[in-house]
Structures are given as structure tokens and as C-alpha cells.
Structure 1
Amino acid sequence: MSRSFAGPHELGQNFLVDTRVVRDLVALVPRGAERVVELGAGAGAITAALVDAGHRVTAVELDPRRAAALRRRFGDRVDVVRGDLLRFEEPDGHDLVSNVPFGITTPLLRHLLGQRTWGTAVLLVQWEVARKRAALGSTTMLTASWWPWYTFGLAGRVPARAFRPMPSVDGGVLVIERRPEPLVPPGERAAYQAMVRRVFTGRGAGVGAILRGMLPGRVVARWLDAHRIAAGTLPGRLTAEQWAALHRAALHRTSS
């Protein structure tokens, strides 16, 4: 993609040219959504498939020429908005889909996860990023920080040849869904996320040692025993439910 044709946050975006991948991506978007917001619509391959599937679509595109081309192509069938993916504020009651420019994956995730307006996000990102966010093998601090409110799933691998220009790595489809019942109350988010950050950055050979620098030994021992966690387990190996239980244990100890 030429730099003269790209917006500042879309440099490095690779467009889907494999119609099968486009179809499979759109099939993951829930049909009951009031509206689907597509972030980074580009040339409109996914946009067209969303329209064909019967969705009401808002297509967000930063580049003015691409946005104008989308308006000419779809007319009043699509609400085209010229906007920055990292600043666009989505309307209430919608789902998301995006072929995410690889260079802004983490900033975009942070932007989206902090909002409460959408239910499901179907995101095409780098394969390794999708694997890490979906906690295959081990999770990251970002995923653990948001797990009580979202589930992260891996829906498939997309070969590099499905894009133009072809990137050096494969893509992966990450599906993020808002939990109907959060594992931690929203009002406790700041305290929970601060705890996750302290555990991930703490010193020690496993969560047992890390937590003993943060909590009384008896609290740590009860939590480890209740969830059958070995003291040497790394933070990235904990599940969403174990993180939520640790938060409750720490909060109960503080309130007591």
C-alpha cells in the first residue's frame, strides 16, 4: 500500500482478497446485532459481505479517498464515517468487525476494551497476537486484565497469501465477547487491574512467591490450595476464574 494513499494509523494494512476468508469472517458476526461497525473498511470487501448478509453497517475509514469511494459504491446502504480507528466512539448496541492494521493492534484493543457499547468483536490480527490474546498456552497481562469482563477466542488462522500486499506473517481471527455476567464487578475494575499488573511484574519464581510479597502467607496458601495451583505456576498460566478468585481473596483480606 502506498504511503500517499494511507492514513497515519492505516500504514501497513493488508487487504483481504480471499473471498472465502471474507465470508468466514462475516459468518462470525452475530446476526442479532442492531448494527455492525466495521473499523478500517478500506476498499470495502468485508463491507460488501456484511451488507449481503443483511447487516446494517457503519463503515469507518480514515483515508478520505477510500471513504468517498465507499460512499459512491454503497450509497445509503452503508453509513460511511471518516474517522480514526483509535478515536472513533462506537454507538450503543452493536458488534464490531475489523481487519486490523497490524501496527496498531494493541492500541486498538486497549481502546475497544475500555468501551461498554459493543457485544462481540471479530478482529483479524497477526497470528501470534491472536494466539496470545486467546490464551493458547499462556496468556498476557492485557488479556488477564480484561478477562473478568470478556472472553477471548481463536476462530482460525488466515494464510498470508489471503492478503494484498502479502504480509510476512499469517493472520488470526480473534473473537472477543462481552460476558453477560462479569466475574468481577465493573466498579472494582481499577483494583483488579492494578493487582494483575503487580502480579505480572512482581519478583518471584511463580505466583506463590510473587503473592507472598503482596498478601499474608495464609491468604496465598488458601487460594493456591482451593484452586489446586502449584506455587511455581507462572502468572500467564492462570485462568480467568483463578484471577477473579485471587481478586476476591485480596479484596476480602483488605476489607477485613
Structure 2
Amino acid sequence: MARPARISRALSQNFLADRATAEHVARLAVPHGRQVPLLLEVGAGKGALTARLAPRCHELHAHEIDPRLVPQLRARFSSTPQVRVIAGDFLDTRPPRTPFAVAGNVPFSRTADIVDWCLRATALTDATLLTQLEYARKRTGDYGSWTLLTVRSWPCHDWRLVGRIDRRRFSPVPRVDAGVVRIERRRTPLLEPAALHDWRKLVELGFSGVGGSLHASLRRAHPRRRVDAAFRATRLDPRVLVGEVPPDHWLRLHQELSS
């Protein structure tokens, strides 16, 4: 009867229970056998992924919000000098000022907040996150559609679905499979810094839903003839729904409408 007490539904705890899966995720987080200078792990849990990430890092900060698990983690990694177990909420952490990566088995209920934290961190190089599969597919365009968050961040961040994890690889078993999302900050943004404000305004206007189509929404801020010309240059049907427009087409629309 003691075992269920270790699981917190409030914290959305679903621990990785398969060594091969943990090794696979670690390879996705640190590809090609490289070592990263600093890696922050979200939700270290019982340390399954931590153990696989540690050899790939010069320094690993393993964050765990559940105070019941922290002593076990510290005992397990007491002889692993590059691992520092940090008790508390990852979202309360101030992002490092030097380049760093993020990886982790993200609590499904906190995915959006953790992704936002990563996108705001200016020194982040990449984030490899285990999320609900539906979230991973939506954010990376795997359904053939794109979300506001992905398109808005696209000039600075590349989003990819790099893996799918069967739900039976977790304990307790969640209701859905997981996906591995990799978000990489571009070394060279696709737009100049001065253009990013107008980019965000354009994308948010397009996703506003006014008029029922992207074409109708953009006409709120641009003359129809310019929107028509931009759609012709981008080879977009004026009736296209906003979610059906890939990020590279958005870049062409931005170029045409801001020229």
C-alpha cells in the first residue's frame, strides 16, 4: 500500500520506467555523443533520465519539485560530481546567462508553462522535452497544421517531433502516448531583430480569426490589393485557413507585406 503514496496526481507524475527509453531520450537530447557544458533537467523524478544524461554533460542541474523524491535523488547521485539536485519548482529558476540546454520528462499539466520558460530564455541552445503526443504533434506541424505559438517563435526557434514513446514505458501508465519535442534556438535568426515586433503583430493578427480566413484577417491592417499580391507571391489560396499555412509561407507573407 506504500507504493501509490509516492505518486502525486497533482504533480502529473509519470516516471520513465524503461532504461532503453531513457537512453533513447538522452541520445535525442545530446546527439552524436557530444557533451554539453550545462544542462537543466525538468522533473528528475527518480533519476531514470538523469542517469543517462549525466555522462553527456559537464554540469547537470536536476530539478525536482516533489520534496519526497529529492533525498533519494541526492543519495543516488552523491558520487556523480557533475550532477546537482535542485529541490523546488523549475519555473522559479532564473535562466542561466551562459549557453545551456534543457531536457526532461515534463509533467503533462505544466507543459505550456515550461515551454514558455524555454522560449523566453535568451541563452537557451535547445530543449528536448517529453510531452503528451498530441501536444508534440500540434506544435511541430505533424498534423499538417500549425499553431500560433510555433509560427510566432519560428524566426528564432526550430520545432521538431523527434520521437514517440509508448505510454507503457511510464509508471504509472498515463492515458496517452508521449512525444519528444526538440526546440532549437537558431544560431542565426531568420529575421533581423528589428523585424521581430512586426512579425509577431502580423502572426497574431492572422491567428485572430476575424473573417474566418487568414486573408480576411490580414485585410484588417493591409489594403486588399497588397494582401492579394502577397497571397499570389506565396501561392496561397485566399480561402486557406490560418492553421494550414506553414511557417516558411508566413515568412514570405511577412516579406511581401512589410516591403
Indicate whether the TM-score tops 0.5: yes
* Match status 1:65 vs 2:68: yes
Using the TM superposition, name which of 97-106 and 226-235 deviates more. 226-235
Q: Would the aligned equivalents of 2:145 and 2:246 in 1 still touch at CA under 8 Å?
A: no
Q: How big is the alpha-carbon RMSD for the aligned residues of Structure 1 and Structure 2?
A: 2.1
Q: Secondary structure at the match of 1:86?
A: helix
**Residue 80 (structure 1) shift:** 1.5
Q: Does 1:234 align with 2:241?
A: yes
Q: What SS does the aligned partner of 1:12 have?
A: coil
Question: 1:212 maps to what in 2?
Answer: 219
Matched residue type, 1:232: R
What is the CA distance between 1:94 and its match in structure 2? Answer: 1.4
Deviations 1:52-106 (A, max 9, x none): 4455311111222322222221123311222312221232211110100000111
Q: Give the letter for the 2:25 counterpart.
A: L
Q: Which moved more, 1:52-61 or 1:167-176?
A: 52-61
**What is the deviation of 1:175?**
0.7
Q: TM-score, normalised by structure 2?
A: 0.88
SS in 1 for 2:29: coil
- Note the C-alpha offset of 1:187: 4.2
Query: Using the alignment, how far apart are the partners of 1:138 and 1:221 within structure 2?
Result: 22
Alignment check: 8 A CA contact 2:36 2:57 kept: no
| CA distance, structure 1, for counterparts of residue 85 and residue 13 of structure 2 | 19
1:157 aligns with 2:160: no
**1:33·1:93 contact (CA, 8 Å) conserved in 2?**
no
Any conservation in 1 of the 2:35–2:57 contact (CA below 8 Å)?
Answer: no
1:45: how far off? Answer: 0.5
CA distance in 2: counterparts of 1:228 and 1:250, whole angstroms: 14
CA distance in 2, matches of 1:79, 1:146: 31
Q: In percent, how many aligned pairs have the same letter?
A: 36
Partner residue, 2:208: 201
Q: Is the 8 A contact 1:98 1:123 kept in 2?
A: yes
Matches within 5 A, 1:1-256: 6=8, 11-30=11-30, 31-53=34-56, 55-75=58-78, 76-91=81-96, 92-136=98-142, 137-252=144-259
What are structure 1's unaligned runs of at least 5 residues?
none
Distance of aligned partners of 1:211 and 1:109 in 2 relative to their CA distance in 1, 3 Å threshold? same
What per-residue deviation string (whole Å, max 9, x for no partner) do you get for residues 101-142 of structure 1?
000111111121111121111100000000001111101111
Structure 1 residues 156 and 204, CA gap change in structure 2 (3 angstroms):
same
- Cα distance, 1:156–1:5 mapped onto 2, change above 3 Å: closer
Q: Secondary structure at the match of 1:177?
A: strand
Distance 1:115 1:90 in 2: 6
Distance 1:60 1:174 in 2: 19
Which residue identity is paired with 1:69?
A: Q
Unaligned runs of 5+ in 2: none
**1:164 & 1:55 partners in 2: Cα distance?**
29
**Distance in 2 (alpha carbons) for counterparts of 1:144 and 1:195:** 11
* Cα contact 1:37–1:94 (8 A) shared by 2: yes
Aligned mates of 1:128, 1:171 — CA distance in 2: 8
**C-alpha distance in 1 between matches for 2:116 and 2:241:** 23
CA separation in 2, counterparts of 1:13 and 1:105?
13
| C-alpha distance in 1 between matches for 2:4 and 2:114 | 22
Residue correspondences, number = 250
| 8 Å Cα contact 1:86/1:108 also seen in 2 | yes
